[in-house]
Amino acid sequence: MFDTMNSPNRNLAIVRAVRDQGGTPTNVAKRFGISRQHVHQILNAYDAGGAEAIAPLSG
């Protein structure tokens, strides 16, 4: 099984968990170990700029 918890596409997995799988931001936040506010920030960034807006920054 694909581990989305440590995936470089983690933010996209968070968006999909809410939008495609019907998860609530609260439940998704708990599942991914982040705050509910962070889930909303990811969703807002995705809405504004798509997948590129939530892609991890390269170091």
Q: Which tens digits make up the pLDDT trace of 2-57?
A: 445 555 589 999 999 999 999 999 999 999 999 999 999 999 999 999 999 998 77
pLDDT at 27: 98
Going from the C-alpha of 16 to that of each of 40, 59, the distances in angstroms are 13, 25
| pTM summary value | 0.82
pLDDT at 2: 45
pLDDT at 33: 97
pLDDT at 57: 72
pLDDT at 22: 97
Range 14-18 contact pairs with CB under 8 angstroms and sequence separation of 24 or more: 14/39, 14/42, 14/43, 15/42, 15/43, 15/46, 15/54, 18/43
